[in-house]
Amino acid sequence: MGATSYTGWTMTTPHPSRQYRYYDFVMAAYVCVLLCSNLIGPAKETSIEVPLFGTVTFLAGVLFFPISYIFGDILTEVYGYGRDRRVVWAGFGALAFASLMAAVVVHLPPSAASRSSQSAVEAVFGNTPRIVVASIMAFWCGTFVNSYVMAKMKIWTQGRWLWTRIVGSTLCGELVDSVIFYFVAFYGRMPESQLVGLMFTQYALKSGWEIFASPLTYRVVAFLKKAENEDYYDTDTNFTPFSLKT
């Protein structure tokens, strides 16, 4: 049923929202990866020997955080920017709550039996407010940039050359994420040359990891497009991040 004329104004029959088989599962996996990489990963700094580069030191979360960008690429490519935007806000809310919960847990007075483990709890979950703010800001900005570039490039390329969108959106989103996080979290705490070096080392690692995983992204995208019968183009999308509309 379409629009119906009624006493001088138009009444439009609402259409039910499209239901997808795997969208909720992808959202849950995205939020899970985001929380784990931000709460568990930063607890350990590691160093490995890389041929031609020597010893590279990084936070363990770098190995897993780019997976959230892979999910972002998949969501935007298959379901569109609007549905990815809802997932980003779900991740943002989960990350904000987890950070608040961690702060409360760390600052609650320990019982007599758990005082000996208080220092370990603080070491694992006791991020400073500056680190928490930097992490949430970087995630929010970088993820939306990644999704925006992905959606726009799909239109520019008319849906061809998926690899260009994966690489292009990754390089843009991870750059914004890395610059914001390290600037907000560590500016003034270390020499600028060291800060810039650390920033771009992490950027190269995260971007390279996601680009390396692009064959997996291809397979998941192809599976979901076929299973969902969906290949969304954001030709009329309002790209404001401050909305939950699909």
CA-closest candidate to residue 179, choices 152, 133, 151, 141:
141
Residue at 166 is within a domain: yes
- Map tokens 């939020």 to a residue: 31
Q: 132 lies in a domain? A: yes
Rounded CA-CA distance 19/64 in Å is 29
* Residue 45 is assigned to a structural domain of this protein: yes
Residue 132 CA, chain-centre distance (Å), reads 15
- CA atoms of 36 and 64, how far apart (whole Å): 8
Contact (Cβ atoms closer than 8 angstroms) between residue 224 and residue 73: no
- The CATH number linked to 47 is 1.10.1760
pTM: 0.87
Record the tokens describing residue 144, joined without a space. 């939306």
> DSSP secondary-structure letter at 187?
B
Residue pLDDT tens, the chain, 246 long: 444 433 344 333 444 568 899 999 999 999 999 998 888 776 677 888 877 777 877 777 778 888 999 999 999 999 999 999 999 999 999 999 999 998 999 999 999 998 999 998 888 788 778 888 999 999 999 999 999 999 999 999 999 999 999 999 999 999 999 999 989 988 988 898 988 988 888 899 889 998 999 999 999 999 999 999 999 999 999 999 999 988
Cα-trace Rg, the chain: 21
Q: How many domains does the chain have?
A: 1
Q: Does some domain include residue 6?
A: no
The domain in which residue 216 lies consists of: 22-106+118-227
